[in-house]
Amino acid sequence: MLFRSLSLAQKTIPAADRLLERASGTDAIVSSLAGIKVLGRGPMLGYLVALVAGMVVVLYAFRFTRAPERGWTVVAVLAVVTGIVAMVVADKWKGQPQFFLNEVNIVYVAGDHAVAHSALGLYSPHAASFDLAASAETLRLRPRKGVDSFSVRVNDDLRVAGLAVRANDMRAMFGQAILPATKQPHATAKLTATGLEVTVTATQPLEDCFFKCNRFVAPLGDLPAGATKTFRHLETGDAFSSRVVQNTADELRTRLRRLFFPDPVYTLGKQRLTDTAAFRERGPAVYGWTAAPLFPSTLEQKVAHRAINFWSIEAPVTYTGRQIIIPRGLATLRLKNKDARTVERAEGRFSGTRASTLLAEFSLPADCPDVQVATARVVVNFRGSAFRCHVSMQAPGTDELKIKRQPELTGDTVPNPRQWYDPARRSFLVAVEIEPVTLEQAAVNYWQIRELDMEIGGTVQ
DSSP 86-140: HHHHHHHHHTS---EEEEEEEEEEETTEEEEEEEEEEEESS-EEEEEEEETTSEE
**Residue-level pLDDT at 6:** 46
Residue type at position 88: V
Rounded-to-integer distance, Cα 200 and Cα 222, Å? 11
**Residue-level pLDDT at 147:** 65
Decide: 177 and 140 in contact? Cβ < 8 Å: yes
Cα 41 to chain centroid distance, Å, stands at 33
Alpha carbon dihedral 335, 338, 343, 349, in 10-degree steps, equals 10
Which residues touch 450 (CB under 8 Å, ≥6 apart)? Answer: 349, 381, 383
Which residues touch 88 (CB under 8 Å, ≥6 apart)? Answer: none
pLDDT tens sequence across 367-414: 889 999 999 999 999 998 889 999 999 888 766 656 666 788 877 899
Decide: 217 and 348 in contact? Cβ < 8 Å: no
**Residue-level pLDDT at 140:** 82
**Residue-level pLDDT at 305:** 86
How much is the average pLDDT of 21-27?
86
**Residue-level pLDDT at 152:** 64
**Residue-level pLDDT at 1:** 44
User: If pLDDT is split at 50, 70 and 90, which confidence band does 361 have?
Assistant: very high
Residue type at position 157: D
Of the CA atoms within 13 Å of residue 175, those in its CB half-sphere come to 20
Global pTM value: 0.81
Beta strands in 136-254 (DSSP E): 139-143, 153-154, 157-165, 169-178, 186-192, 195-201, 206-213, 216-223, 228-234
pLDDT tens sequence across 412-444: 899 999 999 999 999 999 999 998 887 665 556
**Residue-level pLDDT at 376:** 94
Q: What is the DSSP letter of 39?
A: -
Percent of the chain past pLDDT 90, that is, above it, reads 25
How much is the average pLDDT of 279-306?
82
- How high does pLDDT run on average in the chain? 82
CA distances for 440 relative to 150, 242, 382, angstroms: 62, 44, 20
Which residues touch 365 (CB under 8 Å, ≥6 apart)? Answer: 213, 214, 317, 326, 330, 331, 332
**Residue-level pLDDT at 358:** 92
**Residue-level pLDDT at 257:** 87
**Residue-level pLDDT at 288:** 94
Decide: 236 and 328 in contact? Cβ < 8 Å: yes
How much is the average pLDDT of 346-353?
87
How much is the average pLDDT of 344-372?
89
Least Cα distance to 300 among 160, 180, 174, 176 occurs for: 160
pLDDT at 237 over 70: no
Rounded-to-integer distance, Cα 44 and Cα 376, Å? 64
Strands 186-192 and 317-319: parallel
- DSSP H helices, 355-433, are 417-420
Residue type at position 435: E
Residue type at position 423: P
**Residue-level pLDDT at 73:** 86
As a whole number of angstroms, the longest Cα–Cα distance in the chain is: 109
Decide: 105 and 118 in contact? Cβ < 8 Å: yes
Least Cα distance to 377 among 433, 457, 322 occurs for: 457
Rounded-to-integer distance, Cα 348 and Cα 330, Å? 12
Least Cα distance to 85 among 54, 64, 106 occurs for: 54
Which residues touch 383 (CB under 8 Å, ≥6 apart)? Answer: 447, 448, 449, 450
User: If pLDDT is split at 50, 70 and 90, which confidence band does 246 have?
Assistant: confident
**Residue-level pLDDT at 13:** 58
pLDDT at 272 over 90: no
pLDDT tens sequence across 143-177: 887 666 766 666 666 777 788 888 888 888 898 88
